[in-house]
């Protein structure tokens, strides 16, 4: 059992893609949950509550029965070897886990997709089609005098967003914050951000987000000929006059065909950058999705929703979506990885399942045709690294109370060895 310990300062939070590093964690005794200190964040608090202070790791299971790690690895390798088309999904992993998972995916021709892959593809497809101009949290905090949120205030995705964007801080003495097409509850939150040099504005929809962005584009390009509503014409003028405008959105909040919205935002930014300075900030990729995408891209040259199989490297941003593959019975085994978020369980189904999961996910892997291997959580039970939402910053995760669970990289490497021993 652990001694009660003082809080661990300098902790990097692994529970969303902001990777905040200004909070701390208190490790108590026995079954006391880990406790967030130095500030509050509902998402981080709930994430920590899923871990006890003592480290008594659960055992793996094979078909619902308790097993040793060796037995679970052997069973998982046999099922992978028997699979004609496995799907590796979830992908809640850190850099080391992704690096180790990639050769395993290549060895068995697995298709790989993250939980929340549809949202990831919105930004990825827009980037592939037309390129992008994005910024970092630090740039937003220190320079942005105009912030335009596209389609919502995504504080459910990134609860401490306002704080991380420096809203209300003196570094930028006057900021204007706009929400285009606010959702229920956004107006109250926006009002709370006002003051201390911050002015706020909600622009209600007059059509869908696609048509609003098209009207804004026209108001920017041809102000004299624009028939856009007055609020959009005023916003176009603000964008022209801003020293540094940042357009912020959460791809997971966008409707179907959200890549078109992302692309439209990028076109606006391209136009603005001819005369002033503007950039986008897309908030998503938490729970390891952005990290898996970065690592797979640098290892293979292709992002997620790809496969290294008999036809060489293939990338299919729509066809290789995990929901589509599972619903279409196009895969015959699901290997699901979720080392950060206990609630990110595999989708229900009867396919053979290999679950490299958060220690609290035992019930999700306790069924026939399933192997559950509990893995350590980077930033809680083991050290690791993840990419932040702005994509250029790699954050180190230090374990707050190291445990004896294997990490995803260990398990993936052992699975690869076992597969090779089976002749696969």
Q: Which residues bind ligand SF4 (CB under 6 A)?
A: 13, 15-16, 18-20, 23, 41, 43-44, 158-160
Quickly tell me which residue has 């959580």 as its tokens. Answer: 377
Number of other CB atoms surrounding residue 404 within 10 Å = 10
Q: How far is the CB of 204 from ligand SF4 (least distance, A)?
A: 27
Q: How far is the CB of 168 from ligand SF4 (least distance, A)?
A: 16
Q: What is the Cα–Cα distance from 414 to 354, expressed in whole angstroms?
A: 14
Q: Among residues 42 and 68, whose Cβ is nearest to ligand SF4?
A: 42
Q: Among residues 43 and 175, whose Cβ is nearest to ligand SF4?
A: 43
Q: How far is the CB of 18 from ligand SF4 (least distance, A)?
A: 4
Q: Among residues 390 and 410, whose Cβ is nearest to ligand SF4?
A: 390
| Residue 349, C-beta contacts closer than 8 angstroms, at least 6 positions apart | 326, 334
Q: Among residues 193 and 372, whose Cβ is nearest to ligand SF4?
A: 193
Q: What is the Cα–Cα distance from 89 to 150, expressed in whole angstroms?
A: 28
Q: How far is the CB of 15 from ligand SF4 (least distance, A)?
A: 4
CA dihedral (284, 290, 291, 292) in degrees, to 10, reads 130
Q: How far is the CB of 158 from ligand SF4 (least distance, A)?
A: 5
Q: Among residues 1 and 9, whose Cβ is nearest to ligand SF4?
A: 9
Q: Among residues 11 and 102, whose Cβ is nearest to ligand SF4?
A: 11
Q: How far is the CB of 159 from ligand SF4 (least distance, A)?
A: 5
Q: What is the Cα–Cα distance from 110 to 196, expressed in whole angstroms?
A: 52
End-to-end alpha-carbon separation of the chain, Å? Answer: 42
- Torsion over CA: 92, 93, 94, 99 (sign): negative
Q: Which of 422, 415, 353 is nearest to 87 (CA)?
A: 353
Strands 111-112 and 306-309: antiparallel
């Amino acid at each position: 059992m652990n001694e009660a310990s003082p809080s661990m300062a300098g902790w990097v939070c692994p529970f969303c893609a902001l990777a905040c590093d200004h909070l701390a964690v208190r490790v108590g005794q026995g079954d006391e949950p880990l406790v967030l200190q130095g500030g509050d964040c509902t998402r981080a608090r709930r994430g920590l509550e899923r871990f006890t202070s003592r480290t008594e790791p659960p055992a793996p299971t094979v078909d619902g029965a308790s097993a040793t790690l060796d037995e679970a690895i052997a069973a998982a390798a046999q099922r992978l070897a028997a699979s004609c088309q496995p799907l590796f999904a979830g992908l809640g992993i850190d850099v080391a886990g992704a690096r180790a998972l990639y050769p395993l995916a290549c060895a068995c021709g697995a298709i790989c997709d993250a939980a929340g892959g549809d949202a990831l593809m919105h930004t990825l497809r827009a980037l592939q089609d037309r390129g992008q101009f994005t910024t970092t949290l630090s740039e937003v905090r220190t320079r942005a005098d105009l912030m335009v949120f596209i389609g919502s205030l995504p504080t459910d995705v990134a609860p401490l967003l306002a704080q991380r964007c420096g809203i209300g801080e003196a570094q930028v003495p006057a900021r204007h914050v706009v929400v285009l097409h606010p959702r229920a509850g956004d107006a109250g939150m926006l009002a709370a951000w006002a003051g201390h040099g911050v002015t706020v504005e909600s622009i209600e929809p007059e059509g869908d987000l696609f048509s609003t962005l098209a009207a804004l584009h026209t108001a920017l390009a041809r102000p004299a000929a624009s028939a856009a509503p007055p609020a959009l014409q005023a916003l176009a003028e603000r964008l022209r006059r801003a020293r540094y405008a940042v357009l912020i959105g959460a791809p997971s909040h966008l409707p179907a065909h959200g890549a078109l919205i992302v692309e439209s935002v990028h076109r606006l930014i391209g136009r603005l950058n001819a005369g002033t300075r503007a950039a986008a900030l897309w908030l998503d990729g938490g729970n390891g999705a952005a990290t898996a995408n970065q690592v797979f891209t640098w290892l293979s040259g292709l992002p997620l929703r790809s496969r290294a199989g008999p036809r060489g490297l293939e990338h299919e941003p729509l066809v290789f979506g995990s929901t589509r593959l599972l619903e279409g019975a196009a895969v015959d085994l699901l290997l699901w990885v979720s080392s950060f978020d206990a609630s990110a369980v595999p989708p229900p189904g009867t396919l053979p399942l290999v679950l490299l999961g958060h220690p609290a996910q035992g019930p999700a892997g306790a069924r026939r045709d399933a192997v559950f291997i509990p893995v350590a959580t980077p930033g809680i039970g083991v050290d690791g690294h993840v990419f932040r939402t702005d994509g250029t910053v790699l954050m180190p995760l230090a374990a707050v109370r190291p445990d004896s669970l294997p990490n995803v990289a260990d398990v993936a490497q052992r699975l690869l060895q076992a597969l090779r021993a089976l002749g696969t």
